C-alpha cells in the first residue's frame, strides 16, 4: 500500500548523513506531571501565543485576511477555560487516550494540539464541539497507530459529536470492531 511519505521511517542513508536530535514531547511531559491541568496550561499558552501573533500582525499593519476574525474570537476565548465545558472535557479525553497509549504518545504533540485547539477557538459560538469532531476526523485518526482498541476508545469518546457516525465509519475502515490486530492507515 502507498502511504504518505510523512508516515515512512527515515532511511538508513539519510540517518548516516544527519544528526538526529531526539526531542521530548512537552505535551506528554505536562500531561504526566499535571494531568488535565497540564493540558489546560499548555492549551492556554497556545491561545496566548496565537493572540500575540495575531495582535503583532495587526499592530505592524500586515494582517492576514482572517486576522480581524481571529482577534475577535481570541478576545472572547482568552484561555482554555473559556471554551464551553463539553468541548474542554472532550478535548481532554481525546488527549488522555492518545497520551496514555504507547504507540501515540510520541506522535501526539503540541503542534497537533495547537491545530485542534485553534479550530475550536475559531469556531463560531456554539460550534466548538463540531470543530472538535471535524479535527478528530482530519487530524487525530491519521495519527493513531497500534491496536484497534485505541480507535474504539476514540469512537466511544466521540458519541456526542455531531459527526460521530463519520468517526465510527473511519475507525471501522481502519480496523476497529474487527479481528484486526493492527490499525490500517487511512489512505
- From the list 143, 109, 108, the residue with the least C-alpha distance to 6 is 143
Pick the more confident residue, 174 or 187: 174
CA atoms of 56 and 81, how far apart (whole Å): 24
Q: Would you say residue 18 lies in a domain? A: no
Assess if residue 22 is contained within a domain: no
Separation between Cα atoms, residue 37 and residue 31, nearest integer Å = 8
| Amino acid 8: pLDDT | 62
Is 164 within 8 Å of 134 (Cβ atoms)? no
Q: What is the model's pLDDT at position 3?
A: 46
The CA distance from 61 to 63, in Å, is 6
Q: Residue 17 pLDDT more than 80?
A: yes
User: Does residue 14 sit within a domain?
Assistant: no
C-alpha–C-alpha distance, residues 1 and 87, integer Å: 36
pLDDT band at 142 (very low <50, low <70, confident <90, very high): confident
- Quote the Cα angle for 21-23-29, to 5°: 165
Query: 9 in a domain, yes or no?
Result: no
- What is the structure's pLDDT at 2? 46
Radius of gyration of the chain (CA): 18
Residue 1 lies in a domain: no
Position 4 scores a pLDDT of: 52
Predicted TM-score (pTM) of the model is: 0.84
- Report, as an integer, the average pLDDT of 142-158: 91
| Residue position matching grid coordinates 494531568 | 35
- pLDDT tens digits, residue range 29-67? 999 999 999 999 999 999 999 999 999 999 999 888 999
Residues in Cβ contact with 8 at an 8 Å cutoff, skipping those fewer than 6 apart: none
In b/e form, how buried is each residue of 125-144, taking b as 16+ CB within 10 angstroms? eeebbbbbbbbbbeebbbeb
Task: Write down the residue that cell numbers 497509549 correspond to.
Answer: 101
Residue 68 lies in a domain: yes
Q: Is the pLDDT of residue 138 over 80?
A: yes
Mean pLDDT, the chain, as a whole number?
Answer: 90
Number of domains in the chain: 1
Could you tell me the pLDDT band of residue 5, with boundaries at 50, 70 and 90?
A: low
Determine, yes or no, domain membership for 6: no
Find the domain containing 111 and state its range.
27-174
pLDDT at 128 over 90: yes
User: Residue 146: its pLDDT value, please?
Assistant: 87
| CA atoms 123, 49, 83, 156: torsion sign | positive
For cell 482530519, name the residue: 138
* pLDDT tens figures, 94-106: 999 999 999 888 8
Mean pLDDT of 124-134: 93
**CA atoms of 87 and 151, how far apart (whole Å):** 19
- For residue 6, the model assigns a pLDDT of 55
Q: Is 103 among the domain residues?
A: yes
- Grid coordinates given for 82: 473559556
pLDDT for residue 23:
83
Amino acid at each position: 500500500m502507498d502511504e504518505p511519505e510523512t508516515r515512512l521511517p527515515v532511511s538508513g542513508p539519510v540517518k548516516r548523513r544527519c544528526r538526529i536530535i531526539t526531542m521530548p514531547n512537552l505535551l506528554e511531559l505536562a500531561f504526566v506531571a499535571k494531568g488535565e491541568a497540564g493540558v489546560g496550561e499548555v492549551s492556554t499558552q497556545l491561545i496566548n501565543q496565537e493572540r500575540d501573533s495575531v495582535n503583532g500582525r495587526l499592530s505592524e499593519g500586515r494582517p492576514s485576511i482572517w486576522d480581524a476574525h481571529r482577534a475577535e474570537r481570541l478576545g472572547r476565548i482568552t484561555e482554555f477555560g473559556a471554551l464551553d465545558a463539553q468541548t474542554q472535557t472532550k478535548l481532554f479525553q481525546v488527549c488522555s487516550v492518545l497520551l496514555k497509549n504507547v504507540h501515540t504518545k510520541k506522535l501526539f504533540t503540541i503542534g497537533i494540539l495547537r491545530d485542534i485547539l485553534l479550530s475550536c477557538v475559531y469556531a463560531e459560538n456554539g460550534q466548538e464541539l463540531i470543530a472538535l469532531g471535524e479535527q478528530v476526523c482530519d487530524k487525530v485518526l491519521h495519527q493513531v497507530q497500534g491496536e484497534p482498541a485505541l480507535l474504539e476508545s476514540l469512537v466511544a469518546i466521540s458519541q456526542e459529536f455531531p459527526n460521530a457516525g463519520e468517526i465510527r465509519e473511519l475507525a471501522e475502515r481502519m480496523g476497529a470492531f474487527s479481528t484486526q490486530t493492527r490499525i490500517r492507515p487511512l489512505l
